[in-house]
Structure 1
Amino acid sequence: MRNELPPENAYRILESGPIVLVSTRGADGRANLMTMGFHMMMQHEPPLVGAIIGPWDYSHQALSETGECVLAVPTVDLAETVVDIGNCSGDALDKFGHFGLTPVPAQTVDAPLVRQCWANLECRVVDDGWARRYNLWVLEVQRIWIDTARKETRLIHHQGDGRFSVDGDTLDLGERMTKWRHLMG
């Protein structure tokens, strides 16, 4: 037996990337965080990420003004905080302070890293041509920081309607990736 889902639920099937926090700093100097589930890797070299950030997001203005952000990758221990961050707006709230998260200076962008996150990717906008039409920003990753001291490294993935899956076991098939070996670090 098969059950049909409406087409607008395609993200539940296809969106496999982890939930991230987008850190920005506006022209006014205020740092902000937003929760984002709609993003994708676009290519390896240069490393490009597509991110959906629309005018309904307070972070949209800061990204438009500065052209830079940090994609902070939280782990499952931050799941409730990540959901709560996504359910309020930075126009009325200092999210770093309210949620007890620590902003850390980045090296190549003014937006802060998030100390409590397992990974932080410093990014610059390299193409905003699709932003007006599709709210799709193309970001180039400038630097990546990994907290190797963190014991919890399981990532969370949005499945829609407040449901999430959590990373489990890793299946390493690297030896079979003969065609793409040059891309493996």
Structure 2
Amino acid sequence: MRVIAGKNHGLRLKMVPSKLTRPTTEKVKEALFSIIAPYNKPGIVLDLYAGSGSLGIEAVSRGYRKAYLVDHARPAIEVIRNNVIATKSPENFEIIKAPASQAIKQFFDNQIRFDLVIFDPPYAKQHIVKDISSLTEYNLLTEHALIVAETDRSGFNSLNSNLPNGYTVLSKKDYGITYLMVMERD
């Protein structure tokens, strides 16, 4: 796995050694960032189920100022640390070891708001609708913030039929078993 574009183009990233993780393919990553490029504003990113941190690192490489990389698994946090160090700009990242719901409460307590939120949870443990609702309730999204969800068919269908009010779907695409939905806060 590598960074596809930007200041860290070509940087090889470590992956989490687990059968439970599913790294985003380069094809899906390129599609994701191509979809959001017209809406891109160089702000703050939240990679809520970071895994290796590759999506948040890609966002910073492409011009976002800072990424908060959240995961609750110790092996993932170690890989994220190593990958962030490899970028040679660790000041552009905050690594948080916590479950998503706990991290969201921390962001509220610290009044941190996001311009881009990336959801790529394990397919078997998806709480995207609940997490989007929490981010909205706690007012953690800037005006016109983008939300990207990478999911399987089941998660996609759930999100598609239960999307909270106040969001416009900009794009829905599938890449084999992987589905991408990009939304903008109204």
TM-score w.r.t. the length of structure 2 is: 0.24
Higher relative contact order (CA 8 A, sep 6+): 1
TM-score w.r.t. the length of structure 1 is: 0.24
Which of the pair has more CA radius of gyration? 1
